[in-house]
Amino acid sequence: MPDLLLELRSEEIPARMQRKAAGDLRKMLTDGLVEAGLTYEAAREYWTPRRLTLDIRGLTARSKDLHEEIKGPATSAPEQAVQGFLRKAGLTSVAEAHVHSDPKKGDFYVAHISKPGRAAEAIIADLVPGIIRGFPWPKSMRWGPASAKSGSLRWVRPLQSILCTFGPETEEPVVVDFEIDGIRSGNVTYGHRYHAPGEITVRRFDDYVSKLEAAKVVLDADRRKEIILADARNLAFANGLDLVEDEGLLEEVSGLVEWPVVLMGEFEQDFLAIPAEVIRLTIRANQKCFVSRPQGAVEDLSNCFILTANIEAKDGGKEIAYGNGKVVRARLSDALYFWKTDQGDLPDLDQLKASAENFGLDLKKPLDQRMARLDHLGVTFHAKLGTQGERVERIRKLAEELAPIVGADPALAARAAVLAKADLTTEVVGEFPELQGAMGRKYALLQGEHPSVAAAIEEHYKPQGPSDRVPADSVSIAVALADKLDTLVGFWAIDEKPTGSKDPYALRRAALGLVRIVLENKIKLSFSKAIAATVAAALFAYERSGEGAESLGVVAMLNARIQDYRGESRLLPEAGLVAELVKQGLQKAISETSGAADPEREFFDGQRIMELQASLAPFTDDLLAFFHDRLKVYLRDQGARHDLIDAVITPQSDDLLQIVRRVEALGSFLDSENGKNLLAGTKRAANILAAEEKKKTVIAETVEPALFREDAEKALSGAVNQAEKEAGEAIQDEDFSAAMLALSVLREPVDTFFERVLVNDEDQAVRANRLALLARIRAATGKVADFSRIAG
């Protein structure tokens, strides 16, 4: 069967667009061919900086003839209906239609359509120009004299030639002839821009690849990556070094060259005083080069870097390496300046005293100065959620209150929270935003901060993805939880929730991060209480700032959201507690309730927080549902059964660690013979109850032993009493395996009951009593899980 070769050659395509563009070309063309009635055996795309190539094997030479009948209206139908039928069928007059008869419906029109098959070359010639004109580049351009005309061709970079051949392996392929904006298809391509710029005539894919290789073009991007990586490793090893590998950079570099030539450059040893992350990012971002380290080193770098050229220079690449070295040295000089500047005093220290006093900062320390400046400048976090300084105040208070729960020192947690965002105003982070947190940690250690404080400054952003590690240090955990809770509660309060695939504030990632931190560190935390504490921290921060009720920010938004959830047009009294707490001041409210010696401390379990938790119930339920969704995603990725998760989670489940333990215990129990049999019996009981409840059959409110007629009833009642008691005690102790074991005693009496007892007895009182017994089985098992949701 024939094969198709298509190449679209242009000026250099941005590396980040190449892989997707080649995939888009394959999908658009193969979809079009199939829709036109052709089939193919295989298709593969290729790309270099200057070409997109498609190799389609086993393409049918011609589409099949098409015969179909299109049924029309009755012959007596109005003219308008008849004309619509003619347009649909492509007929010019009713005389071209046939009349069919039906004994019931009478006479009606039918169009007999016959379309002869088309040659594949004609189909391809029609498809490709349309694909080129409608290609989904993120950005495209017009060029040359034709660009002045309306509707002229657009491409990512000027399109220079089109190669399109078609034919079987045993015959000479033909050129599929078409033209687009003066560019006519042919069987000619061109090699490397400098080494082999002349014409290359090709027949089919195999000689196309070999001739390009001879013309210094490696067509396969994955092979270019393998060449670059292997040569870079070998070159580093030959110089007593190890390559610092970077998959993202390797992908980009392979899209910058058609003929990769790996070289080594170097810079002065003095620049190694700059942190390794800064050196690596400077060289990566500006020169697209790899860095190296001494063999066996973990963090230290060497002063040698690896670059990938696109030509084989006559001098072996010495001038190329030297030129890249000059640029790298200039960039590293800037980085060294940023690094030293960040460790010096700011010129506007006198203006930062108020902010320093507010946060307890020491203006003799560089990082403290940067935090004071962040607050002083009033840098906005979000228009409806206040400034970064206000947010830091909220996070500080919340981290301080969360610290005892996660085993952290509250003072260290508060200090880490205050400095967590300080590096946002440093020069290095201004140049390389991806180093936020990492630079804060380095500057914190340089000014003598506690190691846990320094670690928390970097780790409170984690995890930033499903493969990223979670913080393990207790101070880092406290600040990370506080940061993510403040983000989620704040954006939920202003109704900026994720919608569909849109999540501009990465709230799903923040929620999944919270889930992972809690579960992987085995933290027992009530999320509904944590949400209330987050709001309380916001109240405390606003009261402390002296802005009062005139500028409530997130608090005012919460009041409005509570009204929305309640479905009321006015502020309800219990929701009004939020405003009341602002008005009175959180310190006063807490001290009146708890009588604490220090009202700024220990309010996480205070009475006012409990009241606030109740006020926020509708808001909290909505946010909890979002956490449950993220938890389900996490557990399913861990291999948990979705039906077990659904059986355990209720809308009010706010202890995620407890949910996971329930799922684990339930899974183990159901894997046993007792578990499988009890599940069957429980589901049978639930089904009978559901059917009788639907029929509104009378079910007794309590089980009356005097109405028992069978020994199996008495045995089951006693087993239920025992199971309820023991399972309840086990659940109280959060020993869910013991709770499942307690329920297992029901297995035999439930089986015996259904074997020997007729539930729907003729005596209405006996029937109601037996149904009540089944209801007790459902209630007893329901304390552990909703067995009706479990498959099987």
DSSP state of 64: P
* pLDDT at res. 601: 40
Q: Where are the alpha helices (DSSP H) in 347-450?
A: 353-359, 366-376, 388-406, 410-419, 427-431, 438-446
- Does 541 have pLDDT greater than 80? no
- Does 591 have pLDDT greater than 60? no
- Does 139 have pLDDT greater than 50? yes
**Residue-wise over 193-207: b if at least 16 C-beta within 10 A, else e?**
beebeeebebebbee
pLDDT band at 341 (very low <50, low <70, confident <90, very high): very high
* pLDDT at res. 448: 95
- Does 607 have pLDDT greater than 80? no
Among the listed residues 13, 295, 325, 269, the one whose alpha carbon sits nearest the alpha carbon of residue 139: 13
* pLDDT at res. 682: 82
pLDDT in tens, 217-254: 999 999 999 999 999 999 999 999 999 999 999 999 99
Q: Which of 15-19, 527-531, 633-637 has the highest mean pLDDT?
A: 15-19
User: What value does the mean pLDDT take over residues 555-574?
Assistant: 44
- Calculate the average pLDDT of the chain: 87
Lowest mean pLDDT among 102-116, 479-493, 545-559: 545-559
pLDDT band at 304 (very low <50, low <70, confident <90, very high): very high
Q: How do beta strands 66-74 and 106-115 pair?
A: antiparallel
Helix (H) / strand (E) containing 164: strand 159-167
pLDDT in tens, 40-55: 999 999 999 999 999 9
- Does 582 have pLDDT greater than 80? no
Side-chain half-sphere exposure of 95, counting CA atoms within 13 A: 2
pLDDT band at 792 (very low <50, low <70, confident <90, very high): low
* pLDDT at res. 41: 95
Percentage of the chain with pLDDT > 90? Answer: 52
Q: Are 201 and 172 in contact (CB under 8 A)?
A: no
Q: Are 792 and 679 in contact (CB under 8 A)?
A: yes
Q: Is residue 19 classed as helix, strand or coil in its secondary structure?
A: helix
d(CA 262, CA 317): 9
User: What value does the mean pLDDT take over residues 6-11?
Assistant: 97
Q: Is the dihedral angle over the CA atoms 704, 705, 706, 711 positive or is it negative?
A: positive
Percentage of the chain with pLDDT > 70? Answer: 91
* pLDDT at res. 545: 60
Q: How do beta strands 183-186 and 159-167 pair?
A: parallel
pLDDT in tens, 731-759: 888 888 888 888 888 888 888 888 888 88
Q: Is the dihedral angle over the CA atoms 695, 700, 704, 707 positive or is it negative?
A: negative
Q: Which two tokens stand for residue 220?
A: 């396969």
Q: 229-238 long-range CB contacts below 8 Å, 24 or more apart? A: 231/260, 231/262, 232/262, 232/290, 232/306, 232/308, 235/262, 235/263, 235/264, 235/306, 236/264, 236/292, 236/304, 236/306, 237/295
Lowest mean pLDDT among 110-124, 491-505, 545-559, 674-688: 545-559
Q: Which two tokens stand for residue 24?
A: 């888009």
* pLDDT at res. 580: 43
Contacts of 425 (CB under 8 A, 6+ apart): 370, 371, 373, 374, 377, 379
d(CA 769, CA 216): 88
- Does 410 have pLDDT greater than 90? yes
Beta bridge partners of residue 74, listed in sequence order:
108
Among the listed residues 170, 144, 166, 167, the one whose alpha carbon sits nearest the alpha carbon of residue 155: 144
d(CA 367, CA 372): 9
Contacts of 777 (CB under 8 A, 6+ apart): 681, 682, 685, 716, 720, 746, 750
Burial class (CB in 10 A: 0-12, 13-18, 19+), 283: buried
- Does 415 have pLDDT greater than 70? yes
Judge if pTM exceeds 0.85. Answer: no
- Does 15 have pLDDT greater than 50? yes
User: What value does the mean pLDDT take over residues 8-31?
Assistant: 96
* Distance from chain centroid for Cα 166: 42
Lowest mean pLDDT among 23-27, 326-330, 612-616: 612-616
Q: Which two tokens stand for residue 94?
A: 């009713």
* pLDDT at res. 148: 83
Q: Which of 246-260, 591-605, 610-624 has the highest mean pLDDT?
A: 246-260
- Does 265 have pLDDT greater than 60? yes
Among the listed residues 4, 7, 51, 2, the one whose alpha carbon sits nearest the alpha carbon of residue 163: 7
Lowest mean pLDDT among 34-48, 331-345, 613-627: 613-627
- Does 85 have pLDDT greater than 60? yes
- Does 532 have pLDDT greater than 60? yes
Beta bridge partners of residue 648, listed in sequence order:
none
d(CA 648, CA 666): 9
Helix (H) / strand (E) containing 156: none
Task: State the Rg of the chain over Cα.
Answer: 36
Q: Which two tokens stand for residue 261?
A: 């030539």
Q: Is residue 421 classed as helix, strand or coil in its secondary structure?
A: coil
User: What value does the mean pLDDT take over residues 325-354?
Assistant: 94
End-to-end CA distance of the chain: 50
pLDDT in tens, 485-526: 999 988 888 788 898 888 999 999 999 999 999 999 999 988
pLDDT band at 558 (very low <50, low <70, confident <90, very high): low
* pLDDT at res. 567: 42
* pLDDT at res. 675: 81
Q: How far is CA 787 from CA 408, 659, 667, 673, 681, in A?
A: 39, 15, 12, 16, 10
Q: Are 743 and 721 in contact (CB under 8 A)?
A: no
Burial class (CB in 10 A: 0-12, 13-18, 19+), 728: middle
- Does 395 have pLDDT greater than 80? yes
Lowest mean pLDDT among 607-611, 708-712, 777-781: 607-611
- Does 588 have pLDDT greater than 50? no
pLDDT in tens, 438-463: 999 999 999 999 999 999 999 999 99
d(CA 225, CA 369): 45
pLDDT band at 1 (very low <50, low <70, confident <90, very high): confident
Helix (H) / strand (E) containing 761: none
Q: How far is CA 648 from CA 102, 299, 362, 644, 673, in A?
A: 60, 45, 50, 6, 20
Beta bridge partners of residue 62, listed in sequence order:
119
